[in-house]
Amino acid sequence: MDVPKQKFPVNAEDYKLYEEVGEGVSASVYRALCVPLNVIVAIKVLDLEKCNNDLDGIRREVQTMSLINHPNLLRSYCSFTTGHNLWVIMPFMAGGSCLHIMKTSYPEGFEEPVIATVLREVLKALVYLHAHGHIHRDVKAGNILVDNNGSIKLADFGVSACMFDTGDRQRSRNTFVGTPCWMAPEVMQQLHGYDFKADIWSFGITALELAHGHAPFSKYPPMKVLLMTLQNAPPGLDYERDKKFSKSFKDLVAACLVKDPKKRPSSDKLLKHPFFKHAKTTDYLQRAILDGLPPLGDRFRVLKAKEAELLQNSELNGNKEHLSQQEYIRGISAWNFNLEDLKNQAALIQDYDESSTAEDLNASSKQQDKLNDVKFSAERSSSEILNDSDDGSHLEDEIDEVPSLEDSFAAFPMKPIQALKGCFDVGQADDEDTVSPTIGDENRSDIEQHGAMTSSLKSEDQVEKNDVRLPEHRKSLPRPTIISPKKYSSGSLLPDKVLSSKKVVGDFERGFRVERSYSGPIQGRQKNNTTNSYPEDASEEAVVQRKGRFKVISADLKVPVVSSTFSGTTSPPASGISASVVSSLQTILYHSTLQKEELHRLIKFVEQISGNSMEYVEAGVNGSTQIPLTSPRERELQSQLIQLQQRNTILAEKLQRQKMMNAQLEMKLSDLMKKENIEE
C-alpha cells in the first residue's frame, strides 16, 4: 500500500527484518518494519559482492525506482549500502507476485476477467514508462506484484533502459537482456537494436503466462528458447484448452506477438483494445485471487521447499529438465551470462527435444517442422555427431579453445565495493516534484544525470495531459550538439568514420584496424545508433572501476565532458598499471579478432548449410508423401541431410554464444579504454 510522503531513514538500524518473502537472481526480499515510522515495508537486499556482474543494472534500478511516480509502478522509498549489501526500501506488496499466486493456487492460470484486470494495470504502467522514454525489458508475471487490496504494480527495473540514453547506456539497448521466454525476437537477434515494442512482446507472453500458469517454452533451457522463439511461429491461444478464452483475448495476444516489432501496437493503443472491457476493479482482484491465501512469507517458504525438493530429486535422478523448471519457479530474470551455464544449457538441448510437448511443437512453423525432422530422426547425441563430422567438428574444436578469454577477463583489477559507497545512497526527495535536474549541465554526476533522463518520470496526470505522446521533456532536450567523435576502444562497435580516423597509433591502432575487417552485427547496430545526435553521456567520464557490466561512478568525481579522449597522434602514455592494462587489452583485442573471424566463418557456414539443407529436407519431407524413399542410397542421403541439419542447429547455438561473448568483450574493452583515459 502506498505510504504518504514520509522521509524513510537510510540506516539499517532503523529497520527490523522479518521473514523472507521473495528471491530473485540477485536479491532476497524481506518483509520489514520501519521502526521510526512504524510502517511495514519490503526490503530488497542485494549482496553487491555477489552481483558484480550487473552492478550497473542495479544502480540503474535503484535510480529508476526512486524517480518513478505512477500507481502501477513499484517505487522505492530510499536505498543505502550496509556492509557489502545494498538495501532498497519499498512498499510491501502483501499479495506477492502473480507468479507466486499462480504457483500456489492457480497452476493452470487465471480466469479471463482476472487476466484482463491485471494486464490493464500493467499496461497503464507501460504507457507511463514508454511515454517517458523507458523500456522495462523484463515484463513477466514474476514482476507483477499484487497488494492486499488487489492493486497491481510492475516491479524490477534491473534491466530497464532509457530510449534517450547515449553512450554505454544506449549500447545496453543493443544487448541481450531480459528473460529468454519473454524476450522479443529482435532482442535475441541483436541486429538492429530494439525499442518499446520489445515490452509489447513480453506483455503478450505474460498474457499467455497468466492464461496457462506458465510461459510458452518455459520448460526449455534458454538456448532452446532462443531457437524456438526465432524459428517458430509466435505462440498464441490456439489450443483446445484455450477454447474458453474470448476472441478479443486471442486477438490481443496475437496483436502483441507479431515478430515484426513495427507491426505491434504501442502500449497506449493497446490500452484501448476491446479485451480490456472485460477488466474489473482491483477490489475484484482481491476477492478473486487473494481471498484465502496464506501470508506471503508462508507461501514463499512452501514454494522454496518445493523448489529445493525438485532440485534434490533432479540431482539424484540426473534429470536435467528440472534445472530449467527451477529457473522458472524462481522467476529468474536477466539472462545469465555465465559461460559455463550456457555451455551446460546448450548441452541439454538434445535431452529436451525428446520431451517436447504438443503445445510447443504445434506452435511451430515450417522451420519447426524441419527441426522436428531432425529431432525425431537422428538418434545420436550432438557430441557424437560433432565427433565424426568432417566439416563441423574442427569449428567446434576451435571455438572450444576460446575460453581462454575468460582468463583474460580475470586479469583485470576488480574490487568494486569500496568505490561503491555513496553511489547507491538514494534518499527520498524532500519534495518529489523537485526531482528534476536541469538537462544540459554537462558536469553533473551520474545520478543527477539519470535524474535528468528520468526527470520525465512525473505523475500519471501529467502523462495523461500529454495524451501519451512525445514526453514533454524530450521537447525540452537541448538541441543536438555535434561533438567530436568519442574514441571508444570497442573495435567493431565503432562507426566507420571513427574507426577510420587516425587518432590512435601503434598497437591500439593495429587493434582497431584488425577489428574493422570483421563487421559483425554489433558493429552494424552501433553504426545505426551512434547517429543519434544527443550529447554523449557525461557520466561515462566518471567511470572509475568496472567489473562485468558494472561501472563504478565516483560519487564526487566531477569530470568535465571530454568527448575526444584520444585526440592526439601518439598512443596514450602507458605507465604502471596502464601498461599492464594496455597489454591485457591487446591480448583481448587479439582474441576478439580471432573470435570474430571464427564467427564470420560460422555465419557463412551456417548460412550455406541452412540454405541448402533446408531446401533438401523440405523437398525430402514433402516428396516423401508421394515418392517413398525406398533405395538405401536415398535413405542414406536423407539421414546425412538430417545430420547436417542437426549440426547446423548446434552451430547456430554456438554462434549465439560467441556473439554474446563478443558483446561482453566489446563492452569491457570500451570501459578499460575509458578508464585509461580517466587515469591520464
Ligand X SMILES: Nc1ncnc2c1ncn2[C@@H]1O[C@H](COP(=O)(O)OP(=O)(O)OP(=O)(O)O)[C@@H](O)[C@H]1O
Annotated binding site: 44
CB of residue 51 to ligand X, shortest distance in Å: 8
Closest-CA residue to 649 (of 614, 616, 615, 601)? 614
CA dist., res. 28 & res. 30, Å (int): 7
CB 210 within 8 A of CB 240: no
CB of residue 15 to ligand X, shortest distance in Å: 14
Residue 577 parent element (H or E): helix 577-626
Whose Cβ is closer to ligand X: residue 303's or residue 589's?
A: 303
Closest-CA residue to 153 (of 182, 128, 180)? 128
Closest-CA residue to 643 (of 264, 294, 375)? 375
Residue 461 parent element (H or E): helix 460-465
Exposed/middle/buried for 486, CB within 10 Å: 0-12, 13-18, 19+?
buried
CB 673 within 8 A of CB 487: yes
Whose Cβ is closer to ligand X: residue 29's or residue 114's?
A: 29
Q: Are strands 152-154 and 96-97 parallel, antiparallel or unpaired?
A: unpaired
Whose Cβ is closer to ligand X: residue 145's or residue 348's?
A: 145
Amino acid, res. 576: G
Give binding residues for ATP as ranges: 44
CA dist., res. 32 & res. 40, Å (int): 6
Whose Cβ is closer to ligand X: residue 86's or residue 385's?
A: 86
CB of residue 91 to ligand X, shortest distance in Å: 6
Residues 6+ apart with CB under 8 A from 591: 402, 404, 405, 408, 665
Residues 6+ apart with CB under 8 A from 92: 1, 21, 31, 32, 40, 41, 42
Closest-CA residue to 49 (of 420, 549, 338, 409)? 420
CA dist., res. 289 & res. 480, Å (int): 50
CB of residue 105 to ligand X, shortest distance in Å: 15
Residue 494 has which C-alpha cell?
Answer: 565503432
CB of residue 141 to ligand X, shortest distance in Å: 9
CB of residue 343 to ligand X, shortest distance in Å: 22
CB of residue 300 to ligand X, shortest distance in Å: 7
Residue 573 has which C-alpha cell?
Answer: 602514455
Closest-CA residue to 230 (of 606, 492, 592, 595)? 606
> DSSP class of residue 430?
S
Range 188-193 contact pairs with CB under 8 angstroms and sequence separation of 24 or more: 188/226, 188/229, 188/230, 189/230, 189/521, 190/521, 190/522, 190/525, 190/659, 190/663, 191/521, 191/524, 191/525, 192/524, 192/525, 192/528, 193/525, 193/528, 193/529
Whose Cβ is closer to ligand X: residue 83's or residue 295's?
A: 295
Catalytic residues: 138
> DSSP class of residue 106?
-
> DSSP class of residue 476?
T
Whose Cβ is closer to ligand X: residue 109's or residue 511's?
A: 109
Whose Cβ is closer to ligand X: residue 166's or residue 282's?
A: 282
Strand partners, 34: 15, 39
CA dist., res. 189 & res. 198, Å (int): 12
CB of residue 151 to ligand X, shortest distance in Å: 12
User: What is residue 576's three-state secondary structure?
Assistant: coil
User: What is residue 34's three-state secondary structure?
Assistant: strand
CB of residue 202 to ligand X, shortest distance in Å: 12
Residues that bind ligand X (CB under 6 A): 21-27, 29, 42, 44, 74, 90-93, 96-97, 100, 142-143, 145, 155-156, 158, 331-334
> DSSP class of residue 290?
I
CB of residue 282 to ligand X, shortest distance in Å: 16
CB 549 within 8 A of CB 56: yes
